[in-house]
Amino acid sequence: MQNNDDQADPSSRELLRALGGINAGIPAAGEPLPQEEVAAYLIACNRIIELLALIYADELRDGSLTDGRPIEIEAKRLAAELRSLHVCDIAEIARIHRNYSQRIRDYRKRAFPALPPPSRKEAVDYARGSVRFEGFVLSPEAEEINRRYITGELTLDEFIEASKAAALKA
C-alpha cells in the first residue's frame, strides 16, 4: 500500500534526501515510483548529457577547449545539475525539458547543418540499386522514365504517375 509521501512538499523531500540519501530519489525503501516520473527523470538526465556532449563537440570543433571559458563554466554547471537532479523534483525536470530542448536543437543545427536534398540522379540511382539488390532489373520503359525525370522533362508527380503506369503494364 502506498502512503502519501508522494505528495510531500519539496522541503520535506529535500530533508528526506539529505537525511537518508535515498538512492535515485526513491521516496521510501521498496515503494514504487510512478512510471511517468521515472521516464521524465531519465529523459531529463539524457537531455543534460546530450547538451554537455554538444557543448564539448562544439568546443572541440573550434579547437579551443580551455578551462574558464564561458562554455566550460556552463558545462561544469550542467554536470553539477545532473549530479543533483532528483526523480521527485518534478518542477526542475519540467524546466529541463522546457528549456534544454530548444538549446539542443540550436546546437544540433550548428553541429550538423542540413544536407542538401539528393539530386534527381542520386535518388534514381539509389532506387535502381535497391531494386537490383532485390533481384530485379528495370525495364527499358522504366529506364526511359528515369532518364526523363533526371533531365527535368518530368516533375516528381509526373514521374510517379508514369512509373505506376509502366509497372501496371508489366
pTM of the shown model: 0.47
* DSSP 8-state secondary structure symbol assigned to residue 154: S
In this predicted model, which residue has the larger pLDDT, 85 or 23? Answer: 85
Q: What is the pLDDT of residues 50-109, one digit of tens each?
A: 888 887 777 666 655 445 567 778 888 888 998 999 888 889 999 998 889 888 888 777
Mean pLDDT across the chain: 77
pLDDT at 119 over 70: yes
pLDDT at 68: 53
What is the pLDDT, as a whole number, of residue 131? 83
Contact 145, 154 (CB under 8 A): yes
Q: If you write DSSP's letter for every residue of 85-145 in order, what string do you get?
A: --TT-HHHHHHHHHHHHHHHHHHHHHHSPPPPPPPHHHHHHHHHHHHHHTT----HHHHHH
Contact 74, 55 (CB under 8 A): yes
Residue 52: per-residue pLDDT = 85
Q: Are the C-beta atoms of 28 and 19 separated by less than 8 Å?
A: no
pLDDT tens track for 127-138: 888 888 788 888
Mean pLDDT of 4-17: 46
